Structure 1
């Protein structure tokens, strides 16, 4: 099915002149390669541009730098599949290709790759007993040796370097072994649960001074890797591809602080504090102790003006002394770390102080503000535990240079952040007072944005900020948190019968949306075998309904166009980008590798024609859509290659 067939459906085609242009690019690139051979200039771009070229030139492509690598996932039965890749690419690119392969039985997570290279520098043949047992999910002594951690392939290495000295990969061979952390597999078999440490146990094992260092025995890098996401600071990749719920969705004070930083009103007192803070932190200080003392006094007079009996003082915990801590009784609410130099990380040291101050019994949330002053630069982070095993730390506002100069926007932003911090500290203090004065034991004090919404008994995380939950009547629903949501479009599509029922859509204090919808047994449309004529008819109906209401979905890629096998219908999901034609706009940072409809760009208006583009593609090319979209990406790569060719020409001059 050629891409140009989209013409009859109103989709902008890849015209024949573009095909000729691609051919010209290829010929010119071939010429330049030969001309630049003596200079050892290698140019590598994909040559899979459309299905016609894909079919005609595949064999030639595999001889011209492309190889087919046999992949097997260790420990997973029936997980063998091939991957085509250009040998000029890196091991990291091979990982990406493995993740994107539709035959993978595991989610996108951290992969560990190993060559299936035997001692005699030959590949593991599929006919051997080791290979047969491997494909059944079993591990032999040979596989154990091949996947020893010392043999792991570095993601930055080039494939040509890795494959040097090995025979050319052929069929009926295994070339690369993939090891995925056990908790990452999507499998029906029982997987051992990794035992987690309690935060109270971690507290006894770390020290703030060591935790502030990037390298070394007690460094934050070592501990965050070992804890594998239990203390989430967005600094170390988890072994499981999960995105934690943002801090502002876990605590209402953090949510209001973030919102206040954008709009809070401030007065002379706030402006005077900012002027004094900038002067005190930017002028030379003899030592970190002097810097910390000055910061403590300024913050105490400003933040605690409503609580004259309170103070910010150095606090000693298990031998570690903080630069400044504000407590209400035994509950610490704000901690200060100041640095002049030495290369230590003030934020990570602050995180360690948080862990060190947690009680033995963690039966509620303990929210803190972490203030870092590193030279003339101030940052404000929030940190809170999400149980007795996990905590999350995130920046709540940009870092500010504490320099009082003629930049009104920057100074106003800093003033709003300081005024917001003062209000947030007052809020945490008042809640502590209420808790102490209350005769009730609030086991869930300070739990999640006033929301019984977040107290759903969540069963599973489906994807980023999307969860399966069970409501009181026992039915399962989908719960989603989104920065924007097209509620009107979702309701319209649901009423028309081609979207899940929208149960709830509320705006939270921090600007996020809390969305609940019915859970349906959906299957990606590209993977289901149904009558094409019936599907095409439904897609045309969907297109007509949306156009009639001047509504746009905006993101009708594969994962958002599903099939309901119970009601035999096409169903649209993921209405984050949806809105009105010509009024609402696309979000920032759209994936540049996607061949979006013409005019569909970050910040540009949503258009009915964009949905028509996707729906027409689905109508006429459903079985081959994955390949077509992939080929369209490569056409885009070819167009980018034109600029590269011009640069290569300059090298020949």
Structure 2
């Protein structure tokens, strides 16, 4: 219909209004939907005063005073106080037990792995394995272990904890420990950045195990409130970063360290289990683990403080129209963007139940025109990928080992613009696919895939891929070549197993089970099932268990 069109600054249409209508009425209507700001004419970019009457065909742009709040913040506002929420099992189940929980705690959903999200978290986890303890460290740990006695109330344990931390932290660290009111965390750790105090750590203290509610939930409620205030205050720490904070739980004589970030909602990850700080512990290995967990905390706090200091803008009171997309990126990608200022990054998503989940796969477009995919995984069959790539059946790639077993895989991007299309988008069918082939072309495509797999299998008969579904096979509409991707589970038959979780909605071949060995016959049977092939692709030798196979094939052994 004809009328007045109101757009966002990015170009999306917000609303169409029947005309004639005044700017004042439009702004009132938009305010009810959560939008605030003023209007400018799209043609002249000049501000339109509220009394102005707009007529059919007018196009105006809303310059937002602040962006529309995501619905999560209203949901968070409706929660009980942190202490009450942590004690209410029914409310925790209601808010945290659904597919889209209010906090990502790893029970029903999970945030981006925190060691990827921020270097301070990666440094802390690395120190858990490698920090060399000295006399100063052991002195600090012994003071913490002295706290394993009984205290009359929470505030007494809080005060003792404060004394320990203050003595150990670097003298030149521009920060403070703040005992707070009942509606805030027990202790806030804050850094002085640009003349203001920035929260870098949240500490929750319970006098004894089982008293005062669930400390993790209480910590995240406090963190959620922190993120809410930073967002509504238009504070740069929220609008330009993932808002990293370290979380310390002291529960009686135990301690646990974790971290929190904010993407679409708060996400938490524990870096340690609950560790006993018992004064008379007599286990050297356990003591070393405990000591590293404790003494690695202050350097991580200093690291987050330095991050905020480097991030702080010259004009901290500036307004933001949208959150920086880098807030969702792994720290490695942020560093890549700094090295290549013209870099464009897109993140892949997928639908999980009714929630859109961001995947750890990114498309990188450089100013030179080069395009690459970067994915992050804790498991990757680099040897198989390399062999198949050298044979011409997979993209070239490089791999970088990160903290905690994570790997960053950067590979050449087989783009649709150069003819490469996944098979699941080529298959004819009732679904309207942009690149769907006619039945004859689809049959030629299937035969090309079979031939490609047979060729690579003849070269490497004991290589297994593990997930040869259509979505992981590319076909080039121009050259008619085939390429295989997604080598996360790949390896040598008998050496690699399926992961602990397998998607139950996939029609896996017989014999495929979580944690069981991946066999070549599984690849071939999955290929047959997914492509609806009638061919006999396997040989009797491949039906044997790994330990029954002839010797002489490097790396093959019986693994149970």
Bin of the TM-score, shorter chain as denominator length: 0.5 to 0.7
SS at 1:457's partner residue?
A: strand
Q: Kindly report which structure 2 residues correspond to 1:332-481, keeping only aligned pairs within 5 A, or say none.
A: 332-339=199-206, 340=208, 341-342=210-211, 344-358=213-227, 359=230, 360-361=233-234, 362-365=238-241, 366-386=243-263, 389-403=264-278, 404-434=280-310, 439=314, 448-452=330-334, 453=336, 456-462=344-350, 465-467=359-361, 469=363, 471-472=365-366, 478-481=373-376
On the 8 A contact 1:312/1:326 being kept in 2, the answer is: yes
Q: Provide the C-alpha distance between the structure 1 equivalents of 2:224 and 2:103, rounded to a whole number of angstroms.
A: 9
- Residue 456 of structure 2 corresponds to 542
- Residue 315 of structure 1 corresponds to 180
After superposition, the C-alpha distances for 1:219-242 in whole angstroms (9 at most, x for unaligned) are 44445579935632224x46xxxx
On the 8 A contact 1:521/1:565 being kept in 2, the answer is: yes
Matched, 1:197 2:197: no
- Which runs of no fewer than 5 residues in structure 2 stay unpaired? 1-67, 338-342, 351-356, 415-419, 429-441, 538-560
On the 8 A contact 1:484/1:512 being kept in 2, the answer is: yes
SS at 1:271's partner residue?
A: helix
- Residue 482 of structure 1 corresponds to 377
After superposition, the C-alpha distances for 1:279-326 in whole angstroms (9 at most, x for unaligned) are 31x212212222222222223322x2434774423123xx61432111
Change (3 A) 1:587 1:299: farther
Indicate which of 188, 197, 213 corresponds to 2:87: 213
When the two chains are superposed, the root-mean-square deviation of aligned CA atoms in Å is 4.4
SS at 1:574's partner residue?
A: coil
On the 8 A contact 1:535/1:619 being kept in 2, the answer is: no
TM (normalized to structure 1)? Answer: 0.54
Q: Provide the C-alpha distance between the structure 1 equivalents of 2:249 and 2:262, rounded to a whole number of angstroms.
A: 20
Change (3 A) 1:251 1:456: farther
On the 8 A contact 1:326/1:335 being kept in 2, the answer is: yes
Q: Provide the C-alpha distance between the structure 2 equivalents of 1:355 and 1:620, rounded to a whole number of angstroms.
A: 46
Q: Provide the C-alpha distance between the structure 2 equivalents of 1:342 and 1:621, rounded to a whole number of angstroms.
A: 54
Q: Provide the C-alpha distance between the structure 1 equivalents of 2:175 and 2:358, rounded to a whole number of angstroms.
A: 41
Indicate which of 489, 493, 503 corresponds to 1:577: 489
TM (normalized to structure 2)? Answer: 0.62
- Residue 234 of structure 1 corresponds to 106
Q: Which structure shows the higher helix fraction?
A: 1
Change (3 A) 1:249 1:569: same
- Which runs of no fewer than 5 residues in structure 1 stay unpaired? 1-193, 629-653
Indicate which of 167, 172, 195 corresponds to 1:301: 167
- Residue 189 of structure 1 corresponds to none
Q: Provide the C-alpha distance between the structure 2 equivalents of 1:275 and 1:596, rounded to a whole number of angstroms.
A: 56
SS at 2:239's partner residue?
A: coil
Change (3 A) 1:373 1:310: same
Q: Which structure shows the higher strand fraction?
A: 2
Compute the displacement of 1:408 (Å).
2.6
Q: Kindly report which structure 2 residues correspond to 1:563-642, keeping only aligned pairs within 5 A, or say none.
A: 563-564=474-475, 566=477, 567-579=479-491, 585-586=496-497, 589=500, 610-611=519-520, 614-615=523-524, 618=527, 623=532
After superposition, the C-alpha distances for 1:154-199 in whole angstroms (9 at most, x for unaligned) are xxxxxxxxxxxxxxxxxxxxxxxxxxxxxxxxxxxxxxxx983364
Q: Provide the C-alpha distance between the structure 1 equivalents of 2:389 and 2:146, rounded to a whole number of angstroms.
A: 58
Q: Provide the C-alpha distance between the structure 1 equivalents of 2:184 and 2:526, rounded to a whole number of angstroms.
A: 63
Indicate which of 119, 131, 144 corresponds to 1:252: 119
- Residue 421 of structure 2 corresponds to 521
- Residue 545 of structure 2 corresponds to none
Q: Kindly report which structure 2 residues correspond to 1:105-120, keeping only aligned pairs within 5 A, or say none.
A: none
Compute the displacement of 1:424 (Å).
0.7
After superposition, the C-alpha distances for 1:583-630 in whole angstroms (9 at most, x for unaligned) are x654763759977879x99597x8xxx3366337747995269xx9xx
Change (3 A) 1:373 1:406: same
On the 8 A contact 1:210/1:220 being kept in 2, the answer is: no
SS at 2:164's partner residue?
A: helix
SS at 2:71's partner residue?
A: coil
On the 8 A contact 1:525/1:561 being kept in 2, the answer is: no
- Residue 22 of structure 1 corresponds to none
Change (3 A) 1:602 1:267: farther
Change (3 A) 1:434 1:557: closer
Matched positions, count? 412
On the 8 A contact 2:103/2:267 being kept in 1, the answer is: yes
- Residue 191 of structure 1 corresponds to none
Q: Kindly report which structure 2 residues correspond to 1:64-79, keeping only aligned pairs within 5 A, or say none.
A: none
- Residue 283 of structure 1 corresponds to 149
